[in-house]
A and B are shown apart, each in its own frame.
Chain A
Amino acid sequence: MCATKTSRAAKAAPKGNSEDYLRMYRQMVRIRTFEDNANQLYLSAKMPGLTHMYSGEEAVAVGICEALTTEDKITSTHRGHGHCVAKGAEFKEMFCELLGKAEGYCRGKGGSMHIADTSNGNLGANAIVGGSMGIATGAALTSKMLGKQDVAVCFFGDGATAQGLWYEVMNMAALWKLPVIYACENNGYSEYTKTDEIAAGSIRGRAEAFGIEAHQVDGQDVLAVNTLTEGLVERARKGEGPFFIELMTYRYHGHHVGDINREYYRSKAEEKDWKDNRDPIIRFRGWLVSQGLATEAEIEALNAEIEADAKAAVEYALAAAYPDGAEVDLHVYAPTDPSVFRPGA
Chain B
Amino acid sequence: MREITLSQAVNEALREEMRRDETVFIIGEDVAEAGTPFKVLAGLVDEFGTGRVIDTPISEPGFVGMAVGAAMTGTRPVVDLMFGDFLFLVMDQLCNQAAKIHYMSGGTLRVPMVLRTNLGATRRSAAQHSQSLHALVAHIPGLKVALPSSAYEAKGLMKTAIRENNPVVIFEDKLMYNDKAPVPEEEYLIPFGVANVKREGRDITLIATSSMVQVCEKAAETLAAEGISAEVIDPRTIVPLDTETLIASAKKTSRVIVVDEGHQSFGVTSEIASRINEAAFYHLDAPVMRLGAMDVPVPFSPALEDLTVPTPEKVVEMARRLCAGEMIHAA
Residues of A within 8 A of B (CB): 48-50, 100-101, 106-114, 126-131, 159-160, 162-164, 190-193, 197-199, 264-265, 322-323, 325, 327-329, 332
Contacts and interface: CB of A to CB of B under 8 A. Distances in A.
16 contacts: A48-B124, A50-B125, A100-B302, A101-B301, A108-B299, A109-B299, A111-B124, A127-B125, A129-B58, A130-B58, A191-B34, A192-B33, A199-B57, A323-B304, A328-B296, A329-B296
Contact of A164 (B59, B125, B304): B59
Nearest to A131: B128
Given A322-B301, A325-B307, A264 B33 contact: yes
B30 A193 contact: yes
A322 B126 contact: no
Contact of B302 (A107, A112, A198, A322): A322
Interface of B: 29-30, 33-34, 37, 55-59, 61-62, 85-86, 89, 123-129, 294-297, 299-304, 307-308
A323 B33 CA distance: 41
Q: Which of A48, A107, A113, A198 has the most CB of B within 10 A?
A: A48
Q: Which of B124, B294, B299 has the most CB of A within 10 A?
A: B299
A159 B58 contact: yes
A104 to B, nearest CB: 8
A130 B62 CA distance: 14
A238 B111 CA distance: 51
Contact of A265 (B34, B59, B86, B303): B34
Main secondary structure of the interface of A (DSSP, over half): loop
A193 B56 CA distance: 10
Contacts of A160: 58
Contacts of A265: 33-34
Nearest to A162: B57
Given A197-B55, A322-B303, A128 B30 contact: no
Contacts of B58: 129-130, 159-160, 162-163, 190, 198
Contacts of B56: 198
Contacts of A192: 30, 33-34
A332 B295 contact: yes
A316 B4 CA distance: 43
Given A49-B123, A130-B58, A109 B301 contact: yes
A191 B128 CA distance: 17
Contact of B34 (A49, A114, A193, A332): A193
B57 A159 contact: yes
B126 to A, nearest CB: 5
B178 to A, nearest CB: 14
A328 B294 contact: yes
B96 to A, nearest CB: 16
Contacts of B301: 48, 100-101, 107-109, 111, 322-323
B308 A328 contact: yes
B304 A111 contact: no
Nearest to B88: A128
A125 to B, nearest CB: 10
B217 to A, nearest CB: 26
Given A48-B300, A109-B304, A164-B61, 18 more contacts: A48-B301, A48-B302, A108-B301, A108-B304, A109-B300, A110-B127, A114-B127, A114-B128, A128-B85, A128-B86, A162-B58, A162-B59, A193-B34, A193-B55, A198-B55, A198-B57, A327-B304, A329-B294
A50 B123 CA distance: 9
Contacts of B29: 191, 193
B304 A49 contact: no
Nearest to A322: B303
A113 B62 CA distance: 25
A113 B128 contact: yes
B297 A332 contact: yes
Contact of A332 (B57, B125, B296): B296
Contacts of A159: 57-58
A238 B294 CA distance: 48
B300 A164 contact: no
Contacts of B297: 109, 332
Nearest to A327: B304
Contact of B300 (A49, A126, A129, A264): A49
Given A108-B301, A164-B61, A49 B124 contact: yes
